Structure 1
Amino acid sequence: MAEIRVPVLLATSNGVGMGHLTRQVTVALAGADRLDVTLLSLSAALPTVARAAGDGRLPGADRLRFEYCPSRTSPWQGAGAAKVAWRTHWDPYLADRLVALVAETGARVVAFDGVVPYAGLLRARQALPRTAFVWVRRGMWRPGVGAAWLARAAHFDAVVEPGDVGGAADTGPTAGLPGVVRTAPISLTSVLPALPRAEARERLGLDPARPALLLAPGSGAYADVSTLLRTVVRDVRDAAPDWQVAVTRQAIARHAADVTDGPDGTDGSLVVLRDVYPLAPLLGAFDAAVGAAGYNAVHEHVSVGLPTLLVPSTGHETDDQVARSHGVADLGAALVATDGAGLRSGLDRLLDPGVRAEVRAACADLPPADGAREVADLLARLGADRPAVDRPAPAGPPAWRRPALAAAGARRGVPLVTEEHDPVGPEQPVEHLLAGASPEYRARRRAAARWLYR
């Protein structure tokens, strides 16, 4: 009997790191036997994921299809009147992109992972009443934020909250909300096999004979992490000179990964891991870690039993990393530092073999982070009896805005490209296309580009 998989569209916000994208990739891999996935993302990190899928670093992702959509704050928005026009018309543009892609792929379900359900997403929901819409949003929101965003849950067929190992410390507005499907935590470690320690070290360029510490400061989008980098490298070098330190630097990170304490910037103690994705299968290369307390990193480290000193970022609008850190530390599954003194004392503890053994034991007692399978099951069920969209009506900007568009200036030429092109890097705008797109889809995309790029 031929394999039957439910076509679904997984969408993500732009975010400041890899979190939303990685969760959706995990769901796609967990449901590979029953979901036919297209991934649409506003994130500039999408090319990193697409390349990893293409060259085999994401086993099982060879059937995933990708498409990039510029966000409201894309660098292509221009300045002055052009910027105002872009932001005014971006939500109708997003709705048009979503509706067109659902029709092109035959998706029965749209699952959005992000903090804010954009007006354009809700507009697409209205235009696709027979397509199931799901909002996947992590918990641990900071107290007092996001009430208006949470009220948009009523527009979705289901709201999914992936579990959080630090969830007992959640005191924010999502804690205990009714009508939410709560799953186990989601971690890429549940779908990607771990590489043997020696192979992982070879891939990362680590000395096979020396202990290794992973320094993962996150995207650095909201804070200067140079102090963290210098402190960790200096203190490890002073207290445990036999250790080597490897620091991650994502392509979309806003921090520099270089440390200038030594004559060559590293003094031989720092290995820079530039845009290594996915890192989850390679975590066995490390003996300990220091890093931010974002959702994905925490659950990957805990899942593989990697003793970690969490240094939570406090600049995120919704993500309560301080609460998550303390929730995990209360379980004994990590250490936490929230100031300079705590960082130094935490490093001393982290370098103690006995403390690391205690953390590994606590991690081993935690349930598996395999919530992606639960989400994939839910999407398959929701989409099983839904019809495909048949020739959706043209969208475009609101009629009352079209005269303003016509007066906004000359049209810019906007090429259409395939997913083999890096759609994020060029300064010149591009419209990224799904590989093998139909003539009808290309025509609709050209029409949308004509009224957006002014």
Structure 2
Amino acid sequence: MNARVLLVGDMTDRLLAVAARLPAAPILLTSAAELPRAPLLIEHLPETNRPRRETLLRDRLRHLIEVHEIGTVVLDGVPEDGLLAATADHPGVTWLWLRPAMWRRGQGLRWRGRSAAFDAVLEPGEFATAGDEGWTVYDREGVTTVAPITALDRADLLDRAAARERLGLGDEPAVVCRGLTTTVPGFTVIEPEARALRAADLAVATAGYTAYHELLAAGVPTVFVPDEDAGPDDQLARARFAAAAGAALCAERAADLADLLALAARPEVRAALASRCAEVAFENGASAAAEWVGSRASPASPASPAPTGRGPRS
């Protein structure tokens, strides 16, 4: 992989997990309000109104491709008009789409058909894939799927004793919150790094992609509280599936949360949830995703466009 890789996306967790496994550090273009701490060059695209954003995105992609001799662009998110225009501007670049799954039913249909603008499409896996009712379920031609993508493999996680020692915890039970704030009587609230998640006896979290898969992979007994304002991301389907699998509890309504936290505080309930997480454990798809990117990355200079197998630009 001689030419550089450019990663594009505002939800950067998956991209950074892939970036850490690429043979050379890529460049990241993002509009995220809080820039991630990562050992790579990060370009920030400021938020602006839509017409201006499309022009700005197209121009910034052109600049980065030319200045850094980008051979491959990897998008995690939706192919906005500005990015779609850039694919037509740079036919010698390899364009790859990490296309999210788990769309709410009937939402996101405007993006269907835009895969034709990309050389290949990869779907980051979902533990709850059997509960997916979104449009990507029916758009499978040419799509590769890997296991759920997280920053760390299970082998990278500290065991409970080491994680609790790292955080300076004693014997008191601890709860971690992700995406929301709450308290559980008798539990100390902690904020561990991903490597030390097993220090927690319990978690309360929204069911966004990263928190959901990190907590299940770490085997932390969790009460998932779907975020109603998560846009097209079907957090409710994720949370319901984990509950149906016996690997977590799901608070479908805010009124359910207090009762479920009281239930989850019971040691036998938490033990059963942790045991079930171990039974349904999944691999980390980050390495497979990085290999997929590497196998398709263009070694050619974008100054010398090469024919591609892409469909018509739209």
TM-score (normalizing by structure 2): 0.89
Q: Which residue of 1 aligns with 2:12?
A: 21
> C-alpha displacement at 1:342, in angstroms?
2.2
> C-alpha displacement at 1:299, in angstroms?
0.3
Q: Which residue of 2 aligns with 1:389?
A: 302
Structure 1 SS opposite 2:260: helix
| Distance in 2 of aligned mates of 1:197 and 1:244 | 15
1:122 to 2:113 alignment: no
RMSD: 2.3
1:211 to 2:183 alignment: no
| Distance in 2 of aligned mates of 1:371 and 1:89 | 36
Measured against aligned partners, the alpha-carbon deviations of 1:34-71 in whole angstroms (never above 9, x if no partner) come to: 2441111111121xx22xx3xxxxxxxx4x22221113
> C-alpha displacement at 1:374, in angstroms?
1.6
- The partner residue of 2:8 within 8, 11, 16 is 11
| Distance in 1 of aligned mates of 2:124 and 2:16 | 14
- Measured at CA, do residues 5 and 307 of structure 1 come closer, stay the same or move farther in structure 2, by a change above 3 Å? farther
Q: Which runs of 5+ in 1 are unaligned?
A: 14-19, 54-61, 74-86, 219-228, 247-272, 393-454
Measured against aligned partners, the alpha-carbon deviations of 1:378-433 in whole angstroms (never above 9, x if no partner) come to: 111111x54112399xxxxxxxxxxxxxxxxxxxxxxxxxxxxxxxxxxxxxxxxx
Is the 2:3–2:69 Cα contact (8 Å) retained in structure 1?
no
- The partner residue of 1:171 within 113, 119, 133 is 133
1:42 to 2:31 alignment: yes
Measured against aligned partners, the alpha-carbon deviations of 1:144-178 in whole angstroms (never above 9, x if no partner) come to: 11111122221111121111111111112122422
Structure 2 SS opposite 1:356: helix
Is the 1:135–1:153 Cα contact (8 Å) retained in structure 2?
yes
> C-alpha displacement at 1:290, in angstroms?
0.7
| Distance in 1 of aligned mates of 2:140 and 2:51 | 34
Please list, as runs of the form range in 1=range in 2, the aligned pairs for 1:86-97 lying within 5 A after superposition.
87-97=50-60
Return the letter of the residue paired with 1:377.
E
- The partner residue of 1:65 within 37, 41, 56 is 41
| Distance in 2 of aligned mates of 1:333 and 1:176 | 27
Structure 2 SS opposite 1:188: coil
> C-alpha displacement at 1:341, in angstroms?
4.0
1:335 to 2:249 alignment: yes
Q: Which runs of 5+ in 2 are unaligned?
A: 306-314
Q: Which residue of 2 aligns with 1:409?
A: none
- The partner residue of 1:181 within 129, 133, 144 is 144
Q: Which residue of 1 aligns with 2:269?
A: 355
Please list, as runs of the form range in 1=range in 2, the aligned pairs for 1:277-288 lying within 5 A after superposition.
279-288=193-202
> C-alpha displacement at 1:88, in angstroms?
2.7
Is the 1:145–1:318 Cα contact (8 Å) retained in structure 2?
yes
- The partner residue of 1:98 within 61, 65, 69 is 61
Measured against aligned partners, the alpha-carbon deviations of 1:84-113 in whole angstroms (never above 9, x if no partner) come to: xxx433212211111211222222110011
> C-alpha displacement at 1:312, in angstroms?
0.5
| Count of paired positions | 304
> C-alpha displacement at 1:198, in angstroms?
5.7
Is the 2:154–2:218 Cα contact (8 Å) retained in structure 1?
no
Structure 2 SS opposite 1:25: helix
| Distance in 2 of aligned mates of 1:307 and 1:191 | 16
| Distance in 1 of aligned mates of 2:65 and 2:220 | 40
Percent of pairs with identical residues: 36
